[in-house]
Every structure is written in structure tokens, then in C-alpha cells.
Amino acid sequence: MDRLDNTIRPYAWGSTTAIPHLLGVEPTGEPQAEMWMGAHPGAPSRTARGTLVEVVDADPKGELGAEAVAKFGPRLPFLLKILAAGAPLSLQVHPDLAQAREGYADEERRGVPADAPHRNYKDANHKPELICALTEFDGLCGFRDPVQAADLLAGLGVDSLKPYVDLLHAHPEEAALREVLTAILSADPAETARTVAEATAACTRLGGDYAPYADIAHHYPGDPGVIAAMLLNHVRLQPGEALFLGAGIPHAYLDGLGVEIMANSDNVLRCGLTPKHVDVPELLRVVRFEASDPGVLRPEAAPDGEELYETPIDEFRLSRYVLPEGGAAHDLTRDTPQILLCTAGTVRAGEHELGPGQSVFVPAGETARVSGAGTVFRATVIV
């Protein structure tokens, strides 16, 4: 197996302290948002044999296994991250596989440059994802019931929000949510800024259920996404709890440290809380306008000590082992590629000793035994 040297991405919303604290190093004072583990060309992990992209490209079947290559192609199907949010991320959705293929082909056909700021589709893949909390973790996930959203908006006492409140009460669920989100994102920017300012003052005054939106508005003053965020469920995960985010589900991470895993894609359509491009028509094509429970996941324990986070897709499979002092070693050998990530304590993986934030890549079929006292996350695929 290969010890991984991973890139930390300095996005502006990143925490300045969470990842350094996990790694046991001094903060630099700069935001450290995500640490990427995998073979994404944007920031591939490095090994003694070269980047993980180069390692996989040199022998896809040997590194990934014949079944994984047959099912997903000659690339590592997932990207594993440590994510540290110190400020809200953009409100966003991801396309399903058919939408991604169609959107990517259309932009390629129209000659939209790959690095153009208005480009929506960086690849032809979908991007389901799972976030598992390492600390308390706040996020927004899926639409509230329209009546509940109407009550939340009405409670602010802002006159310019009344048309949205009326729409949420007057239509069937899908039509109500679609019309209100469309209206929020299409409104005159100056009028929206005034509405957001009034709503922010009310959220700050009222606190309680409104406190998360006051904090969002502090980071994104005047942004229509502040109002759009109030249409969504607010979720606070405890350590070990997780959220699965499928195609078309609007979401945003607000604060906290977690392990994130996703299909190997960069496709994001933004709804707000961002200075980046918001393509309203394409967004409305992708969003699933239905109220839903966020569906907090807790791991399901197996007799061998593995705790699995069940999801409905095959590109990734995330589980963890909480290893007690003096416990028996676990054999994690599989015929699929794996990344093992330590998040607490000290874990031995093969010949490598791993501390928090350290990881290894295990080729398909390679013997993988772990022991020690700590927590190790296991990322692989289902074939």
C-alpha cells in the first residue's frame, strides 16, 4: 500500500484552525478548506510511485481490480476529503448522471472553454456525496415543507417577503417551491439587497431558529441565497452522524469538520451564497422541487467491527472502524481499491503508522490489516 501526501485547498470559506488541529501542526493563518485524497486531476494525491493518477494510469486493472475497471472505467471512481467549513459554502445542487452527460456534451459542442467562469459542467459524471461529521457540523439539506417555510419567512415580519409566503401557501408543493426559488433568484438585485438587509436584522433580533440565517447573511450580505436558504432544512450533525446528498438536492455546509466522499466529479450548479456564476435556467432544470427529511445517517455495525454508512450508489462505500486499545487486528483486504484515513489516535495500516489526517491507498487485492487504538475510515467501491 502507498502512503498518501495530500493537497490542502485554501478556499476562502475554510477554517483557519480545524485541519491544522487535526494534523497536529501550527495554523498558518490562512483558510484550509479541504484536504483531497484520491486521483482527481485537480489535486491528485502523491505517492512514492508518482501521483495517484499516474499510478492508476500505469496499471488500471492491477490498481483498481478488473471488476471496478469494467464497471467504472480505468479511474478511481471516488474522491475522499477532509472538509473544514469556517464559513458557509455556496448553496448548490449536483446533476444526475443523465443531466451531467447531456450538459457536458452541450457545452463541449458549443465550445465553452473548460475554465470559463460560466461553465456548468466540468465532466460528464454525476456527483452524489456523503458528509460524516468529525465535530458538530451544521448544514442545510433539502427543502422544508412549503407551509413550514412560509411560516419561517412570515415570522420575520418583512413586507417584501409576503409574496413568497403567499406563493408557498397557494400552490401544490412542487409548483410552490419552484415558483418561489425562481422568484428569489430572478428578483431585481437592488430590491433583493434591501429585502435581505431587513430579513437579516429580523433574524439577528429573533435568534433561535433564525440564528443560522443571521450568520449566513453576515458572510453574504445582500445575497439572494440568504432567503433561498430559509426554504431548506437546517441540520446539526453530531460526531459520527452523516448526510447523503443525491442529485438535485439543494444543500450547503455551514460550519464544522467532516469526512466527505463523492463520485469523482466537479459538477456544481450554484443557487446563491457565492460571487460565482448562477445559471438560473439550468439550475431549475436540475433541482428536485420536493420537500424531504434530511435523513441523518448513523453507521450500521457489523460483527467484524465495521460501521457502514449505507448509500444507494456504487461509486463509493464509506465505513469506519473504532479500534480499542489492545484490540485484535482487522483484515480489510478487498478486490477493490481502498483509501484508509485515520481521524483519531494512532492506527497501523500494513507497514505504515498513521496519525490523525494521514492516509494510505490500498490497491485491489493488496493485503490490508489495521490495528492500534484510534479511528480509521475506509473508502472503497461496490462492484
Q: Could you give the residue numbers annotated as active site?
A: 270
Q: 75: which residues sit within 8 A by CB, 6+ positions away?
A: 39, 56, 60, 64, 264
Q: Are residues 11 and 31 in contact, defined by beta-carbon separation less than 8 angstroms? A: yes
Beta bridge partners of 249: none
Dihedral angle at the C-alpha atoms of 277, 278, 280, 281, nearest 10 degrees?
Answer: 40
Note the residue count of the chain.
Answer: 383
Q: Are residues 342 and 37 in contact, defined by beta-carbon separation less than 8 angstroms? A: no
Q: Are residues 9 and 1 in contact, defined by beta-carbon separation less than 8 angstroms? A: no
- The backbone region for 76, taken as left when phi is positive above 0, alpha when psi lies in -120 to 50, beta otherwise, is beta
Q: 253: which residues sit within 8 A by CB, 6+ positions away?
A: 83, 85, 88, 89, 131, 137, 138, 139
**C-alpha span between 35 and 357 (Å, rounded):** 9
Q: Is 47 helix (H, G, I), strand (E, B) or coil?
A: strand
Phi, psi of 237 (to 5 degrees): -85, 140
C-alpha cell at 346: 494512532
**C-alpha span between 317 and 301 (Å, rounded):** 14
Q: Are residues 316 and 261 in contact, defined by beta-carbon separation less than 8 angstroms? A: yes
C-alpha cell at 226: 440568504
Phi, psi of 86 (to 5 degrees): -105, -10
